[in-house]
Structure 1
Amino acid sequence: MSAHATALCRAAGFDAAVVTKEGAGNADTDLSLKLDMLADADITPVGIFAEMAGPDGTGPPVVSPPRRATAMISAGNYDERLWLPAVERALGSAGIGTADADATAALDVPVAQIHGSLSPLGCGRLMCREAV
């Protein structure tokens, strides 16, 4: 995959490439290999990673970082804890399966349990607004 992606970028005449992924582990390694191969081909790579750096953000952000490519952007930390206060009513089901909690109860959960909370493209913000 890395060689093919690099060949496509070279054939298109790109000077730089922004590369992202979804998932972790193997996907982190695949992305790192792509970034390094692009750098070896003199195509400036920029990687966008969603981190898994522990609740306090002090752990290693990616499973296998690139060795030569150095431009990396964090799309956020899936392990960061969110505290959500109790609400009077909730839309949808009565419970939150991943947190084993009532849908209206206060929650202390990792960002990863909030569906769509981090964008591997680096766009978006985690927020909640009152319905009108």
Structure 2
Amino acid sequence: MKTIYILFLIFLFNFANGQELKSHSFIKKESNIVDKTQETKITITDSEIILKNYANNNTKDLIRRIERSETKAYNGINSIWYYCIAVEKDIFRGEYRKSIFIYDKLGKTLIFADFPSEVDVTWTKFLL
């Protein structure tokens, strides 16, 4: 009987003092589709990608410097992935914003993923 009582107290102590840790990942996503009616001139060179009149309510060019590029699948289609970084620091975070451009030659689209923070992702799809 004493053994059962001690085991019960150990169980009760572990139950009362146990901790359960939970982790949730959260990514806030926004998406836009830009078609031919909203004309945006896109220039892709070996070193940078320029979206003319895209930032600040279509008054400023968005310029991203290409850090690396590679060809890999996106939705089952081989696409060119451009990993980029902003040329200007973000005024709110004090860091250079990172971006990914996915160029699909077959579907004639350019997908722009912008990362304003660690949990925010803004997707824009350009129909070329």
- In the superposition, the TM-score normalised over structure 2's length comes to 0.22
More strand by share: 2
Question: If the length of structure 1 is used for normalisation, what is the TM-score?
Answer: 0.21
